Amino acid sequence: MTVDPATLRGNWNFPTTIWFGVGRISTLARACRSLGISKPMIVTDPGLAPLPMVTDAVATLEESGVSAVVFSDIKPNPVSQNVFDGVARLRAENCDGVIAFGGGSSLDAGKTIALMAAQPEDGIAMWDLEEGRKDWQSAASPLPTIAIPTTAGTGSEVGRSTVILNEETGRKVIITHPGMMPGVVIADPDLTLGLPPHITAATGMDALAHCLEAYCSPFHNPLCDGVALEGMRLVREHLTDAVADGSNMVARSQMMAAAAMGATAFQKGLGAIHAMSHPIGATYDTHHGLTNAVVMPYVLARNREVIESKLSRVAAYLGLANNPAQGFPAFLEWILELRRIFDMPDTIAELGVTEAHFDELAAAAEKDPTAIANPVRLDAVGFREIFEKAYRGDLS
């Protein structure tokens, strides 16, 4: 394949400080001190807030002289009102930093609250910070933030972006500011032990989608390609073990690493999997990782003409196929096998998606910022075709 040297260019940034390993949650007070946080607001979800992992963290902070406030009014797909309420609570309590503690919803909400709490009340609007716009340059830097993931999927702990549902438009919006990168990440696999198998599977498929789409993105970033490839290997070797035995700490640890790697890699871009998943989630309130898993094979089939050689290399690296001609089919079959093992739906119809929304979903997918990095350029008509096939279960 002939390569145009003009395409070999890009702006590369890699993530932040990560304190990784079992038991590292014990370093939370030290993380606060390292960022100059004296009174943090812990942003988590209502299911986690009363659990020992959160209450023990609060108690440990108190013992170290750090007074923490807990805010847990967060939906599974966080909405703008969650952010506005969190900002109001943070200001009322005079907090000077945020600890985003939980799954992707808590991490996204916490990071966004830290961003918007730093803006003057008559300052920039949240929607002005949507991905692809340059308005962030006039925004104040977010309050210092610590991220503590309790799932191994979104990788939001190492990202500069969040996803928030705009309730007025019904659209999931990617909010971006380079300062939203948490100052410290505490990645403690012990915090993922309580995840039920179906959530472990769905979040793991989200991590895989991040690595896969980043690797297939046409933009030039070989650093991300290497991270994405190794992330897919970790998923290949450890996700089924983590789902089958939630107490397997090696598998939990490796999947937590894979999640961070996926989000590191997708600085290079995502693609149609996410462009389709975002409007489905906004309209039907589906789990993001599960939705990615359902649409993934159909997007791969649509992109095959462009990504076949790339996935042949991936299949060889993962031990799925030795013959390059069998690489793409072997990789696709692996994805389908994972869905069968995890008892996931085959079609978006099983997620509750109806044909009546196809035009609306396709239009939203075309406008989603993640669509830009899809290897095949898709307009609304092209996206509608994939929605139709994903509805029928047609992988042709």
Q: Which two tokens stand for residue 41?
A: 């607001």
Give the pLDDT score at 11. 64
Q: Where do you find CATH 1.20.1090.10 in the chain? A: 197-392
What's the pLDDT at 4?
74
Residues 197-392, CATH architecture: Up-down Bundle (1.20)
Whole-number CA gyration radius for the chain? 20
Query: Residue 183's pLDDT is what?
Result: 95
Share of the chain above pLDDT 70, in %: 96
pTM, to two decimals: 0.92
Q: State which H helix or E strand residue 309 sits in.
A: helix 288-317
The per-residue b/e assignment along 113-130, b for 16 or more CB within 10 angstroms, e otherwise, is bbbbbbbeeeebebbebb
Q: H-helix or E-strand containing 271?
A: none
Specify the CATH architecture of the domain 17-192: 3-Layer(aba) Sandwich (3.40)
Question: What are 34-62's pLDDT values in tens digits?
Answer: 999 999 999 999 999 999 999 999 999 99
Q: What pLDDT does residue 10 have?
A: 59
Report in angstroms the alpha-carbon separations of 360 from 166, 294, 364, 367.
16, 19, 6, 11
Distance, CA of 109 to CA of 138 (rounded, Å): 21
pLDDT at 185: 94
Q: Where in the chain is the domain with CATH 3.40.50.1970?
A: 17-192
Length of the chain: 396
Element of type H or E holding 162: strand 161-166
